[in-house]
Copies of this chain bind each other. A is one copy, B any other.
Amino acid sequence: MTKVLCVGAAVVDFVFHLPELPDRAEKYGTESASIVGGGCAANAAVAVSRLGGEAILGARLGDDAIGDMVVAGVAAEGVDCANVTRTPNARSSYSSVYIDQRGERQIVNFRGAGLKLETGWFAGLEGLGAVLTDTRRVAAAVDALALARTCGIPGVLDGEAPVDPGLVSLASHAAFSMQGLRDLVPGLAPEEALQKISAEHGCWACVTDGENGVWFTGFDSIEHIPAFAVTPVDTLGAGDIWHGAFALALAEGQDEASAIRFASAAAALKCMRSGGRDGAPSRHDTETFLKEQDV
């Protein structure tokens, strides 16, 4: 199995469905709520695992009940959590998410306290095919991308704002959100921004823009791959699923254009299912979807 190390956030979201978003200092009640595992790295790791890869999670948690919930949810998906850092007396991160009947979403995130992400164990990993990291925990992201360089494997950066320029230089592949791209290179059109990043940081770069598709640095110009036309039900976690699938595809040796198509298919399928990362598709479903699109 192709191994992918996923480094970054692993949290729990407490999701409440309400007719309208609350707007007064009062008590509201609902019969509809769910507890959903979240966080870029945990979501991506679950996607890798469902898509037939071996996912190794590098995340930071407290030695608390929230941390137990995070690990239980991810481990149940077959993700390797053996090296997740559990810091005594630290407090794990979690969020409260309110979703109204039109799908509008309000999130309050507790960032956690006293959390550390140990990376000393990275060097002992064998047979890795790719590394994926987010931009939030910069020191750990540096260690993750340096490991990929050392091993000569793809080092994928999930380029969410704020983006540390040093991380982009270390990455072999930087996949930005529109917000992340604008944060790193303000004032330029996406195509120009990608060319500037590719030239200045020496890495392959792309920007994902949901239903508008993906722009990426091609052979000698910026290329565009449209998104698959689907009717979204729930986009929560779709970006993370995209990054996990993209890193797995690169690890398997697919070229960037194929990896984008594979990742976009996985993300499209996820958007058609409710429940955050619980909607991440299997390998079989993703490949079937891709074949159907080719007809």
Q: Determine whether A122 belongs to the interface, using a CB cutoff of 8 Å to chain B.
A: no
A16 touches B69 (CB 8 A): no
User: When chains A and B are docked, how far (Å) is the Cα of A100 from the Cα of B98?
Assistant: 17
Interface string of A179-201 (1 = CB under 8 A from B): 00000000000000000000000
Which of B33, B106, B113 is A24 in contact with, Cβ under 8 Å? B106
Q: In angstroms, how far is the closest chain B Cβ from the Cβ of A19?
A: 12
Contacts of A111 in B (CB 8 A): 29-31
A109 touches B30 (CB 8 A): yes
A: number of interface residues (CB 8 Å) = 35
Q: Determine whether A105 belongs to the interface, using a CB cutoff of 8 Å to chain B.
A: yes
Count this chain's copies in the assembly.
2
Interface string of A11-43 (1 = CB under 8 A from B): 000101010011111111111110100000000
B110 touches A65 (CB 8 A): no
Which of B25, B30, B65 is A104 in contact with, Cβ under 8 Å? B25
Contacts of A225 in B (CB 8 A): none
Q: Determine whether A68 belongs to the interface, using a CB cutoff of 8 Å to chain B.
A: yes
Q: In angstroms, how far is the closest chain B Cβ from the Cβ of A264?
A: 24
A108 touches B22 (CB 8 A): yes
Whether A28 contacts B72 in the complex (CB less than 8 A), given A14-B94, A23-B23, comes out as no
Q: Determine whether A203 belongs to the interface, using a CB cutoff of 8 Å to chain B.
A: no
A25 touches B21 (CB 8 A): yes
Q: In angstroms, how far is the closest chain B Cβ from the Cβ of A16?
A: 5
Whether A109 contacts B27 in the complex (CB less than 8 A), given A14-B14, A14-B94, A16-B96, comes out as yes
Contacts of A110 in B (CB 8 A): 16, 29-33
A22 touches B68 (CB 8 A): no
Q: Determine whether A230 belongs to the interface, using a CB cutoff of 8 Å to chain B.
A: no
B65 touches A25 (CB 8 A): no
Interface residues of A (CB under 8 A from B): 14, 16, 18, 21-33, 35, 65-66, 68-69, 72, 94, 96, 98, 100, 104-111, 113
